[in-house]
């Protein structure tokens, strides 16, 4: 495109963005973030089929989600018009596949479009022409360009000319290569421009968008040329996301060799190709061989990616199926709980460390000690003495000046949360644990009851926005200097939930390759414990390993997790699941059950060796731990705040090396 054309183009663009000449050659647009600094947008690809192949349904759902997320713009990953692009600026397909399809008010935003290989089979210049923008002011399509949206910088890359086979073996297709000749220097200049744009960018998040895949287990697979030429530039410049279409699916691959997430949103219309290739399950986080689209929400500290299919009840805006949902945290310190002052406030959330588990940091008190409460099996809107337990936690929390609270899961009864908007979150959490001393970080794992609802809702940053104490992740590491906590997602270990779920429906999204999920998790737990240099090693899960209660031992954990705890000299295993308070001391590991957050008094207790069983209390209550470098003191309390049991564990001072 000639410079004059660009300038004419820009003149037509209105007030949303400004063309800024930069030292890089790529046209540059600015899109302001929301007043709170955040940004949200949808991504759709491979769509223009005059509404056919569910294009209209995808568009409808985009409208609903777009409204909900108050999106700032839409990105199209190309293949905008099938089969052969546009025939010219007057091609009716522009109306039939774009203007008349994406009609929802929330989609009346700027569309940033790149070209796909199908677009190159028509009149490419037509799609780039300002005439289309006169027809529909949302339309902006350029070969390669930059959108600066304050916290994020987007580099849109024209990927089609990279692919050799379109040149050497075009079959029956005719490509419109006007404007990219000579190809070699076109590509070399483009790569140089992308590299310098990334190097110059000071944005928190760097996002590259193209039509073709870099990594994909779909029909087209990896694009060899981009792997060789573009990927090294993305890696060198620590790009956070590469977003593409081309494969007609929704897909997320999390690279193990760099921090890049590869996100495919190519489900805008025709899909269901049915040919998925194998991909390393460590990287392959999500694959959906059907229609849909993606949303991205960005804050300075987090990128939240969700994929949606075409379903969703028009009457109920909450009911879109979210297929995959992944908050990706920025490698920086997050002032998690800004309201709280004093010594507790510091949490760092590092993304993708050597071990795969997310890692958080929590500072010690100035005197080098750490104290926290543990409660489990609680969310019942205050009933079954939940409020009484909460009240006593507030008193003890104050006395011990606790640093945080651990929840051992079964956070919401009976069936987890129905979604991010479920009022149970307020009724069972925010409005219950109201004491000032409990206004600390809560580290939560999921229980089996949580898996019976919308699991992703409990993991969602939306809850953290509602109550900044909330942090729930499937498995993660908490590094509190003298102590390292490894939180383990134990529910997927239990065969019964898969083989004999009874009337319960479990939400196994994210766990659907169960075997790999579990073996990866065990490997990560083992790696985290081996790497830990902390004095105290504590593992937290929902399910029991050793218990004389109603559920008893969890045989899958006994077989698979316990050997790892023993090998790594773990000091404590902390769990819930059995609705009681219990302490079993066995082979140097303290097994501590704190599952008395609400309903209890089951009355069915099994025999356990009195040598090992130090406490069994078949009622409501909670646990506190206070630790220093040389000692940990564990206390159990009932609903009246009476101390039921006290146990202190000495730690030998490390011998001089
Ligand atoms: C439309 O979507 C439904 C639900 O995903 C699917 O079963 C059907 O095959 C789709 N139709 C086409 C033509 O792809
Ligand atoms: C509440 O706690 C008291 C005291 O432990 C107990 O007697 C009572 O049964 C509990 N209520 C429920 C519903 O569990």
Q: What does the domain layout of the chain look like in residue ranges?
A: 3-308, 358-650
Q: What is the DSSP letter of 160?
A: G
How far, in Å, is the centroid of ligand 2 from the Cα of 414?
19
The band of 338, judged by pLDDT with boundaries at 50, 70 and 90, is very low
- Checking if the pLDDT of 11 tops 70, the result is no
Tell whether the model's pLDDT for residue 622 goes beyond 60.
yes
The CA-atom distances, in angstroms, between 324 and each of 287, 305, 421, 459 are: 9, 8, 18, 11
Which one from 60, 118, 220, 542 is the annotated catalytic residue?
220
**Does the pLDDT value for residue 129 go beyond 90?**
yes
Instruction: Report in angstroms the alpha-carbon separations of 45 from 103, 148, 271, 490.
Output: 17, 21, 11, 37
Cα distance between residue 422 and residue 85, in whole Å: 44
Interatomic CA distance for residues 81 and 401, integer angstroms: 62
Q: Is 484 exposed, middle or buried (0-12, 13-18, 19+ CB in 10 A)?
A: buried
Question: Averaged over 391-410, what is the pLDDT?
Answer: 97
Question: Counting Cβ atoms within 10 Å, is residue 229 exposed (0-12), middle (13-18) or buried (19+)?
Answer: middle
Q: What is the mean pLDDT of residues 149-160?
A: 96
Comparing 93-97, 187-191, 336-340, 550-554, the range with the smallest average pLDDT is: 336-340
Q: Which residue has the higher pLDDT, 516 or 267?
A: 267
pLDDT score of 352 = 29
Mean of pLDDT values over 394-411: 97
Report phi then psi at 555, rounded to 5: -65, -35
Query: Distance (Å, rounded) from C-alpha 355 to C-alpha 433?
Result: 33
Phi, psi of 372 (to 5 degrees): -155, 160
> 3-class DSSP state for residue 297?
strand
Residue 52 Cα: closest atom of ligand 1: 13
pLDDT in tens, 41-94: 999 999 999 999 999 999 999 999 999 999 999 999 999 999 999 999 999 999
Closest among 267, 230, 232 to 247, alpha carbons compared: 267
Rounded Cα distance between 294 and 309, Å, is: 9
**Which residue out of 384, 620, 638 has the highest number of ligand 2 atoms within 8 Å of its CB and is therefore the one to mutate?**
620
- Write down the pLDDT at residue 347: 27
* DSSP of 214-234: SS-SSSS---HHHHHHTHHHH
CA distance 616 to 72: 55
Side-chain-side CA neighbours of 507 within 13 Å: the count stands at 24
**Pairwise CA distance, residues 483 & 538, whole Å:** 7
Question: What is the model's pLDDT at position 325?
Answer: 52
Instruction: State the first-to-last Cα distance of the chain, in angstroms, to the nearest integer.
Output: 68
What CA–CA distance (Å, rounded) separates 324 from 309? 10
Q: What is the pLDDT of residue 303?
A: 87
**CA-CA distances (angstroms) from residue 27 to 1, 57, 137, 169, 404?**
11, 34, 18, 31, 49
Burial readout 303-327 (b: 16 or more C-beta within 10 A, e: otherwise): bbbbbbbbebeeeeeeebebbbbbb
The matching CATH number, chosen from 2.60.40.10, 3.40.50.880, 3.40.50.1380, 3.60.21.10, for 3-308 is: 3.60.21.10
Instruction: For residues 346 and 146, give the distance between their C-alpha atoms in angstroms, rounded to a whole number.
Output: 35
d(CA 573, CA 522): 15
Considering only CA atoms, which of 213, 216, 165, 157 is closest in space to residue 186? Answer: 157
Distance 638 CA to ligand 1 centre (A): 55
Sign of the CA dihedral running 175, 178, 184, 186? negative
The confidence score (pLDDT) of residue 17 equals 42
What's the chain's average pLDDT? 88
pLDDT at 438 over 90: yes
Q: Which pLDDT score is estimated for 99?
A: 96
312: left (phi over 0), alpha (psi -120 to 50) or beta: left
Per residue in 257-278, pLDDT (tens digit) is 888 999 999 999 999 888 788 8
Q: What is the pLDDT of residue 6?
A: 44
Query: pLDDT confidence of 323, banded at 50, 70, 90?
Result: low
The pLDDT confidence band at residue 654, using thresholds 50, 70 and 90, is low
Q: What is the reported pLDDT for 312? A: 56
pLDDT band for 184, please (50, 70, 90 cuts): very high
Q: In which region does residue 215 sit, left (phi positive, over 0), alpha (psi from -120 to 50) or beta (all else)?
A: beta
* Separation of alpha carbons 166 and 490, rounded Å: 49
pLDDT above 50 (res 319) = no
Residues 595-601 have a mean pLDDT of 96
- Indicate the pLDDT class of residue 653, thresholds 50, 70 and 90: low
DSSP three-state, residue 418? coil
Res 343 pLDDT > 70: no
CA distance to 293, 455, 503, per residue, from 488 (Å): 31, 15, 26
Higher-confidence position of 155 and 352: 155
Q: Grade residue 403 by pLDDT with cuts at 50, 70 and 90.
A: very high
Task: Say which ligand is closest to the CA of 387.
Answer: 2
**Residues within 6 Å of ligand 2 by CB:** 384-385, 601, 619-620, 639
Q: How far is the CA of 209 from the centre of ligand 1 (A)?
A: 27
Please answer whether residues 378 and 407 qualify as being in contact, where contact means their C-beta atoms are separated by less than 8 angstroms. yes
Atom number of ligand 1 nearest to Cα 54: 1
Contacts 24+ apart (CB under 8 A), 9-12: 9/130, 9/133, 12/130, 12/133, 12/134
* Angle value at C-alpha 574, between 542 and 325, nearest 5 degrees: 40
Q: Are 545 and 590 in contact (CB under 8 A)?
A: no
Identify any residues that bridge with 471 across adjacent strands, giving them in sequence order. 443
pLDDT at 465: 87
The whole-angstrom separation of Cα 447 and Cα 445 is: 7
pLDDT confidence bin for 348, thresholds 50/70/90: very low
Rounded distance between C-alpha atoms, residue 409 and residue 445, angstroms: 5
Residue 314: closest CA among 135, 553, 593, 64: 64
Please list, in sequence order, all residues whose beta carbon lies within 8 angstroms of the beta carbon of residue 273, skipping any fewer than 6 positions away. Answer: 218, 219, 248, 249, 289
Among this protein's residues, is 220 annotated catalytic?
Answer: yes
Q: Any idea which architecture 358-650 has in CATH?
A: 4-Layer Sandwich (3.60)
Mutation choice for ligand 2 from 378, 619, 622, CB with most ligand atoms inside 8 A? 619
More confident site: 339 or 174: 174
> Whose atoms come closest to the Cα of 581: which ligand?
2
Query: Which residue from 57, 58, 61, 272 has its CB within 8 A of the most atoms of ligand 1, so it is best to mutate?
Result: 272
Of the segments 17-26, 40-49, 321-330, 341-350, which one has the largest average pLDDT value? 40-49
pLDDT band with cut points at 50, 70 and 90 for residue 301? confident
Q: What is the pLDDT of residue 279?
A: 84
ω before 182 within 30° of 0 (cis)?
yes
Distance from residue 493's CA to the centre of ligand 2 (Å): 32
* Average pLDDT of the segment spanning 534-558: 97
Instruction: Look at ligand 1, atom 2, and give the residue with the nearest C-alpha.
Output: 54
For ligand 1, atom 12, name the residue with the nearest CA. Answer: 53
DSSP 353-395: -SSSSEEEE-PPPTTS-EEEEEE-S--STTTTTHHHHHHHHHH
- The two beta strands, 589-594 and 581-586, are antiparallel
Distance between Cα 585 and ligand 2 center (Å): 28
Strand partners, 208: 155, 242
Residue 396 · residue 646 · CB < 8 Å: no
Can 3-308 and 358-650 be said to share one CATH topology? yes
- At 293, phi and psi to the nearest 5? -155, -175
How big is the chain by its Cα radius of gyration, in Å? 27
């Amino acid at each position: 495109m000639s410079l004059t054309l660009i300038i004419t183009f820009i003149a037509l663009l209105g007030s949303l963005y400004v063309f800024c000449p930069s030292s890089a050659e790529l046209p540059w647009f600015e899109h302001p973030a929301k007043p709170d600094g955040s940004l949200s947008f949808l991504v759709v690809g491979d769509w223009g089929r005059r509404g056919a192949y569910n294009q209209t349904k995808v568009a409808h759902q985009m409208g609903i989600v777009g409204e909900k997320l108050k999106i700032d713009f839409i990105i199209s990953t190309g293949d905008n018009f099938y089969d052969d692009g546009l025939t010219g600026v007057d091609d009716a397909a522009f109306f039939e596949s774009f203007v008349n399809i994406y009609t929802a008010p929330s989609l009346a935003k700027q569309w940033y479009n790149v070209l796909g290989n199908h677009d190159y089979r028509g009149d490419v210049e037509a799609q780039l022409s300002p005439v289309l923008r006169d027809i529909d002011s949302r339309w902006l399509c350029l070969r390669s360009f930059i959108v600066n949206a304050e916290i994020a910088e987007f580099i849109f890359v024209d990927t089609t000319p990279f692919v050799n086979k379109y040149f050497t073996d075009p079959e029956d297709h005719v490509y419109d290569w006007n404007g990219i000749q000579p190809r070699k220097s076109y590509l070399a200049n483009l790569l140089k421009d992308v590299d310098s744009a990334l190097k110059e960018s000071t944005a928190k998040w760097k996002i590259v968008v193209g039509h073709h895949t870099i990594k994909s287990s779909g029909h087209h697979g990896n694009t060899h040329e981009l792997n060789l030429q573009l990927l090294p530039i993305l890696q060198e410049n620590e790009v956070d996301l590469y977003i593409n279409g081309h494969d007609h699916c929704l897909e997320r691959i999390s690279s193990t060799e760099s921090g890049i997430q590869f996100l495919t949103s190519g489900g805008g219309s025709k899909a269901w190709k049915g040919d998925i290739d194998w991909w390393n399950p460590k990287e392959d986080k999500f694959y959906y061989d059907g229609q849909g689209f993606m949303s991205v929400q960005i804050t300075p500290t987090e990128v939240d990616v969700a994929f949606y299919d075409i379903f969703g009840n028009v009457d109920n805006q909450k009911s879109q199926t979210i297929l995959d949902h992944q908050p990706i945290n920025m490698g920086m310190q997050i002032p998690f709980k800004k309201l709280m002052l004093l010594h507790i406030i510091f949490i760092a959330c590092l993304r993708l460390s050597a071990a795969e588990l997310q890692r958080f940091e929590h500072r010690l008190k100035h005197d080098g000690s750490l104290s926290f409460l543990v409660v489990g099996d609680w969310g019942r809107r205050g009933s079954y003495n939940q409020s009484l337990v909460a009240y006593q936690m507030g008193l003890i929390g104050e006395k011990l000046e606790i640093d945080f609270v651990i929840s051992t899961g079964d956070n919401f009864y009976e069936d987890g949360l129905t979604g991010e908007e479920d009022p149970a979150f307020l009724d069972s959490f925010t409005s219950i644990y109201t004491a000032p001393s409990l206004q600390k970080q809560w580290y939560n794992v999921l229980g089996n009851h949580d898996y019976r609802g919308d699991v992703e809702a409990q993991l969602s940053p939306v809850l953290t926005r509602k109550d900044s104490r909330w942090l729930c992740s499937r498995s993660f590491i908490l590094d509190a200097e003298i102590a390292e906590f490894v939180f383990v997602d134990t529910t997927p270990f239990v065969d019964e939930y898969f083989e004999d779920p009874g009337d319960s429906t479990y939400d196994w999204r994210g766990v659907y390759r169960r075997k790999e999920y579990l073996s990866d998790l065990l490997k990560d737990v083992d790696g985290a414990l081996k790497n830990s240099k902390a004095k105290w090693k504590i593992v937290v899960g929902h399910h029991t390993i050793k218990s004389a209660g109603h559920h008893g031992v969890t045989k899958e954990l006994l077989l698979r997790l316990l050997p790892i705890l023993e090998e790594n000299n773990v000091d404590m295993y902390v769990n819930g699941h059995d609705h009681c308070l219990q302490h079993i001391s066995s082979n140097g590991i303290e097994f501590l059950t704190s599952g008395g957050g609400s309903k209890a008094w089951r009355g069915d207790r099994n025999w356990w060796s009195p040598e090992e069983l130090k406490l069994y209390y078949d009622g409501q209550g909670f646990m506190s731990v206070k630790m220093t470098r040389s000692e940990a003191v564990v206390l159990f309390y009932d609903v009246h705040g009476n101390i039921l049991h006290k146990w202190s564990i000495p730690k030998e001072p490390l011998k001089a090396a």
